[in-house]
Amino acid sequence: MAKMEVKTSLLDDMIGVGDMVLLEPLTEDSFINNLKKRFDHNEVYTYIGSVVISINPYRSLPIYTPEKVEEYRNRNFYELSPHIFALSDEAYRSLRDQDKDQCILITGESGAGKTEASKLVMSYVAAVCGKGAEVNQVKEQLLQSNPVLEAFGNAKTVRNDNSSRFGKYMDIEFDFKGDPLGGVISNYLLEKSRVVKQPRGERNFHIFYQILSGASEDFLCKLKLERDFSRYNYLGLDSAKVNGVDDAANFRTVRNAMQIVGFMDHETQSVFEVVAAVLKLGNIEFKPESRVNGLDESKIKDKNELKEICELTGIDQSVLERAFSFRTVEAKQEKVSTTLNVAQAYYARDALAKNLYSRLFSWLVTRINESIKAQTKVRKKVMGVLDIYGFEIFEDNSFEQFIINYCNEKLQQIFIELTLKEEQEEYIREGIEWTHIEYFNNAIICDLIENNQTGILAMLDEECLRPGTVTDDTFLEKLNQVCATHQHFESRMSKCSRFLNDTSLPHSCFRIQHYAGKVMYQVEGFVDKNNDLLYRDLSQAMWKASHSLIKALFPEGNPAKINLKRPPTAGSQFKASVATLMKNLQTKNPNYIRCIKPNDKKAAHIFNDALVCHQIRYLGLLENVRVRRAGYAFRQAYEPCLERYKMLCKQTWPHWRGPARAGVEVLFNELEIPEEEFSFGRSKIFIRNPRTLFKLEDLRKQRLEDLATLIEKIYRGWKCRTRFLLMKKSQIVIASWYRRYAQQKKYQKIKSSAIIVQSYIRGWKARKLLRELKHQKRCNEAATIIAAYWHGTQARRELKRLKEEARRKHAVAVIWAYWLGLKVRREYRKFFRANAGRKIYEFTLQRLMQKYFLEMKNKMPSLSPIDKNWPARPYLFLDSTHKELKRIFHLWRCKKYRDQFTDQQKLIYEEKLEASELFKDKKALYPASVGQPFQGAYLEISKNPKYKKLKDAVDEKIIIAEVVNKINRANGKATSRIFLLTKNNVLLADQKSGNIKSEVPLGDVTKVSMSSQNDGFFAVHLKEGSEAAGKGDFLLSSDHLIEMATKLYRTTLSQTKQKLNIEISDEFLVQFRQDKVCVKFIQGSQKNGSIPTCKRKNNRLLEVAVP
């Protein structure tokens, strides 16, 4: 339903029938078909009055969101579609507003969704109640108790992956405002036999698998556990893993939940140590051993498991070992010790494991109760949530199924009683006459089971306490004697069996006709499971443990508190617990959720009619509908009834001014509904037959269509009138705007004409003024020019006078200077003649040097180091200077040239220089390689996805990567290989696959041999005795021989500090495995042109023909 839609009744947009009370006709087939129709449309909830039927969808549905919580909050129960939130809200508001204690009873068979339903109820209550730090802490603790109890009390069965193997009843306590204060949990009959044995296709309790899957290795080591499930006899292996269940994540959730609930770290550790001890108990095995006196006794086969259990629990190994081998019986003042045979020892081991786990579970419940109990002592309101096992009918039904079905019989009894009681109280409250309702009362079945003298449980207890030989067969014989005439009991030996045609009932079984159908029980194990005996020796051994938790679980083991009284049986304990539960439920207002499983495959979208029919029968749902419909099928408060149907009567439509009841009376009289079809209560109208309600719904639907037509007609008229008024208003606006536009246009035309006239007048006046200004300006300019000419004449005259005066002064100065010079020359002439020769020589030499350097500046050669040009020497005396300048200039331009190089270029030139020293004038191929740059990486291994595998295998920097030809010594043919040179190794790899064929450390390379001719063949010689030399030396051919040999030489020198021997000869030896082969190079013409070829001449000679 869309968010903005408003739904005011359960009957709106109903898929099928939302309330089974309104189903017509009421038959088993129509009931199932209605459930199926709603299930197919994802409507998993249906009402029977105030009872909610919940069908497990086996998938997540978007109907539990916070928006849904708000939608159902504080709404009437029948106001919205059926939902578990509606029942939860009704129960919570009744508790909060009317101060009525509530209980929510959730029933159904295993896999029907009872546990999930209880979680939804608790989550809804937690969402709608008050807020605050303390309240939120209480809510969180209540919610987080579920994962802990599920881990220790739930298990995977053939019908349910998370089946509750115990009954749980939680009382949630609230204050007067409706805020949670705390809670109390009660548990019923944990299926502890599952600890030691599970049916095929089922698992042990979740916690065992969660520890082994989710605990860390250190934690498992502390618990003496291993992660392998197959190591433990108590864990069934055929269903150890469950699809969709993450045991490791669930273990983390459980530990976090235990921390939130309030478990201390040492308590959590103690709990897991007990679980580990239970798990390891199953690995203890016994072997028979005969004593001297002829009695059989048992011994433990492998004491290692026993030792680890004792280390975990702090028990003396000898004490526990004796407890498994001997049993002490005390009678008055005497003690008799007897040995246990192998079968009895295994029974004792399993009994200890079951008791240890069962008591641990009870301790967990008690510990959780201590954490979540209300801290205040004020009066509290209580809401109870009962999540208990459903009715169980298996192929093999034993004591556990008998007890569970007994509990369901009691719940059915109280369900019928409380439903009738609630119905009767509503009739009395509304003043409607109550008529007796016929229904099946299952009290006779409850009496058959729980009667203190003749009940099955009483006879089972009597048989367990009877001295002498007691077996399951003697118990069945007693049942046949006492219950032979009971109409709901059948066996092969009872009197009722004479009239039975069913021969499938075995002799070791009996059958009870429950309210849900007949169930056949096998008596095997009834006596042992009811006794639930644990030998006193084992109890005392557990009490002696230094482990505080285990010691607390076995208080009866204290020698100071020995009680010779036989402990109560399992049946009597459960009977007392059920009686207490029934008494508790009868003090509260009940709310029911009936859970149904649609199929046995745990799959979505599958609805098995036969399976659902079976559950409907044993849940008594048709009986519930008939009880609800025995009087009046439908009832509704006057206000919502009048609000829903008021449009059917002219007097009540659209508004009724008087009381709501009077309006309903007027409405029903107007519709002429027969008086026997309805009755008026104090606050509600009661309708007897669903047909009457559906007739009202049909009339309302037709009337709504008529009203919709009327509303549509009025709307269309309003829309047309509105459009006409809008068009009229638009016409007036348009006309006013046009008139305004026309006047503006006329005004603009007049305005532009006036502006043109004004511009002509202003232009004439401006031109006149301009002429006057120009005349005045010319007069002023003429005066200025005359004055300028006069001033210029005066200035030139003054300048001429000043120049004449300056010439005179200069002439005087020149004459005086010449006279002084003459006097100085006459005085110093004698000194000049003595030093004139030397001065002239030095001056001449200086001028020649100056001229030389100036000419050299203009004749300098280029800055290229290979340019050998140099200017000619002008004078002989400058010969040494000329040569020194040439040397200095060459060194300087070489330095300038070198400064331009990068580090990479320097490395390349160093390699080229190294190649020159190694191969110049020795190898004919060298001159062709001088002009070729050394690239190194001819294969882009890092970029080519083809070589990804090779790149991942080589983690060093690759110096050279090239495709070479490897020469086969057998036939001289070549095979392509990838040659890789790294800092430490030489590698050869397959060109196609990239797999490394050979890897040689540089330290194992001793020599490289090649010819002096123009070919690319070379041999890599390996150190004898090295691992790489097993197949012999490598004979290779490459197009870049000079570069490869140079890089190999430099890399070897860098890594080993030793020079690699480069042998250049036209004939050299190559080691192939154990043989030495001579490789000889000859000149010859080739068919392939200029390509050298290699041929095998004999076993000791390979001949390479070079063109």
- Residues recognised as catalytic: 110-111, 115, 160, 163-164, 390, 392
- Residue 820 C-alpha from the chain's centroid: 114
**Are 57 and 24 a contacting pair, CB within 8 Å?**
no
Q: Which residues pair with 935 in a beta bridge?
A: none
**Are 495 and 484 a contacting pair, CB within 8 Å?**
yes
Distance CA 1005, CA 1063 (A): 13
Distance CA 916, CA 1042 (A): 10
Comparing C-alpha atoms, which of 1019, 1011, 1000 is closest to residue 1071?
1019
Helix (H, G, I), strand (E, B) or coil at 744: helix
Distance CA 724, CA 714 (A): 15
Comparing C-alpha atoms, which of 592, 622, 687, 608 is closest to residue 30?
622
Phi-psi region of 982 (alpha: psi -120 to 50; beta: other; left: phi over 0): beta
Angstrom distances, CA of residue 136 to CA of 104, 260, 368, 839: 22, 12, 17, 116
Distance CA 1045, CA 633 (A): 105
Structure-token match 């269940």, residue found: 245
3-state secondary structure 98-155: HCCCEEEEEECCCCCCHHHHHHHHHHHHHHHCCCCHHHHHHHHHHHHHHHHHHHHHEE
Helix (H, G, I), strand (E, B) or coil at 1063: strand
Structure tokens at 61: 């549905």
Q: Side chain identity at 543, as an amino acid letter? A: W
Q: State the DSSP H helix or E strand holding residue 891, giving kind and residue range, or none if neither.
A: helix 879-899
Structure tokens at 667: 């409405």
Q: State the DSSP H helix or E strand holding residue 350, giving kind and residue range, or none if neither.
A: helix 342-372
**Are 747 and 740 a contacting pair, CB within 8 Å?**
no
Name the packing angle between helices 247-261 and 342-372 (round to 10°). 50
Angstrom distances, CA of residue 267 to CA of 258, 367, 547: 10, 10, 11
Distance CA 898, CA 212 (A): 71
**Are 606 and 128 a contacting pair, CB within 8 Å?**
no
**Are 986 and 1005 a contacting pair, CB within 8 Å?**
yes
